[in-house]
Amino acid sequence: MGKDVIIACDFPGARECLDFLEQFKDRRPYIKIGMELYYATGPDLVRELKARGYRIFLDLKLHDIPNTVRRASTVLGRLGVDMLNIHAAGGSAMMAAAVEGIAQSGSGTKLIAVTQLTSISPEVLKGELLIDKPLDMVVQQYAKNAKAAGLAGVVCSPLEAGVVHAACGSDFLTVTPGVRFAGDEAGDQRRVTTPAMARELGSDYIVVGRPITSAADPVAAYERCVGEFIG
């Protein structure tokens, strides 16, 4: 299984993203385009970056009725993105519809599900969302649902990679944000680990944003992540 570091390119526009990636043009890292950048630039930037040879995880976290998600998945699959995600909380029918939508696009896009956002704490899960089961159990159940619906993996915290692999097998992908270098601020992330811990815990891909994009030397920060995570 090819472990890799995915840089979360959370920028306000195409210019900022392309300027940032200029530093990486010899490396062409795997990148993630999320809501902010996609809603600002639309599909043009995705096409441009695909043409430049980048692997792209399109992090739009689709969550709607099955028919809408199927049709949106077809449109997004046609962009040729390497990975796309949807919320497991949308239910099995919605996830199966997304799988159909990707198949209709004719692309090899890997579809993965968000289990619980890494910003959700056990207190919020119980006190606000009224989900009484332990966080690990919720993540495990959502991962099983995603696997049964035909998805390739899940987005989860590195802390949950073990329970997901135990429930769904080692080839079921765990794509894990919530990564910070030892001693750094966690910011709005609640469940964080270092790249080295993510490796120990069995993550397949780590998604790293601000520790790289806000670093004084982003290339050095990326290399540090790769060194700690892949070796």
Residue 186 CB, shortest distance to ligand C5P, in Å, is 8
Among the residue ranges 101-109, 143-151, 160-168, 207-215, the one whose residues contact ligand C5P (CB under 6 A): 207-215
Closest residue to ligand C5P using C-beta atoms: 209
Out of 3, 32, 50, 61, pick the active-site residue: 61
Tokens 């959370």 found at? 10
Of residues 122 through 181, those in contact with ligand C5P by CB under 6 A are 155, 177-178
* CA–CA dist 135, 125 (Å, integer): 7
61 in catalytic set: yes
Contact call for residue 118 and ligand C5P (CB under 6 A) = yes
Residue 59 CB, shortest distance to ligand C5P, in Å, is 6
Contact call for residue 203 and ligand C5P (CB under 6 A) = no
* CA–CA dist 40, 33 (Å, integer): 11
CB atoms within 10 A of CB 142: 22
* CA–CA dist 148, 169 (Å, integer): 12
Q: Which is nearer to ligand C5P, 96 or 215 (CB)?
A: 215
Contact call for residue 86 and ligand C5P (CB under 6 A) = no
| Non-local CB neighbours of 37 within 8 Å, separated by 6+ positions | 9, 10, 11, 12, 13, 14, 17, 45
Under a CB-based contact definition with an 8 Å cutoff, are residues 151 and 174 in contact?
Answer: no
| Non-local CB neighbours of 217 within 8 Å, separated by 6+ positions | none
Q: Catalogue the active-site residues.
A: 61
Give contact residues for ligand C5P (rule: CB under 6 A).
8, 10, 34, 59, 114, 117-118, 155, 177-178, 189, 207-211
